[in-house]
Amino acid sequence: MRCMLFYYFIYFIQICLLASLTVYFRKKPDLYLRLFPLFLLITDIVEVVGSYQALHHGTNVNMYNVFSIFEFCFYFFCLTQIIQNKKAKIVILVLSALYLLFALYDILFGQKSTFNSLAYSIGAVFIVAICIYYFFELFQLPHAQNLLRQPAFWICTGLLFFFTCTYPIFGLANFYAHAPRVIINNVGAILSFLNASLYSSFTIAFLCGIKTRKSTS
């Protein structure tokens, strides 16, 4: 029962998935927003299966290695849709292509039986750098915007916070794989909190654009 507490973030994914369906009720939502529900559905399935395997002493490393590549590529795609500068878009596309090639090589010929910590670290650095550039673009806007009503703001905020915090954790994942149980439990609790924070940001992103009618007397 104690181990199950580490996987409470799955409920945040499922709530986020339900919230993401609201994009289909908007007028002409961006492509990356329309694809988010499918991504969250796949994420939910992977996390449920991965949690079941972990609780029953199964191995889920290979599944998470493949999923992490898919996850990073999807986030790269979303950021190319969010970033406005055309040259920056091209740079992100090139980086995502190079990352995909390296990550596939890493799981096939490098870290085949362990978590692909190196590929994760590189992907996390790319995501953080792109999100920082997004905020740099915001400062360059000629007019003020209500960022709290912008889905892109909440998505980039969630990604920036999550990958900044998980970079040192997953980057050293293979070093503390055989660490004392108390350390592993503490790391698991931290990761659960970070995942819950990420999907909470995504949930706000989907709900912040909903327009409510003001009642008139």
86-92 long-range contacts (CB < 8 A, ≥24 apart) are 88/133, 92/130
**Tens digits of residue pLDDT in 44-67:** 999 998 888 877 766 778 888 899
CA distance 148 to 169: 30
- What residues does each domain of the chain span? 3-207
- According to the model, what pLDDT value does residue 118 have? 87
* Token couple for 97: 């292509």
Query: What's this model's pTM, rounded to 2 decimal places?
Result: 0.89
User: Cα(33)–Cα(203) distance, rounded to whole angstroms?
Assistant: 12
Lowest-pLDDT choice from 89-103, 115-129, 162-176, 202-216: 202-216
Distance (Å, rounded) from C-alpha 15 to C-alpha 11?
A: 6
The arithmetic mean of pLDDT across residues 146-175, rounded, is: 88
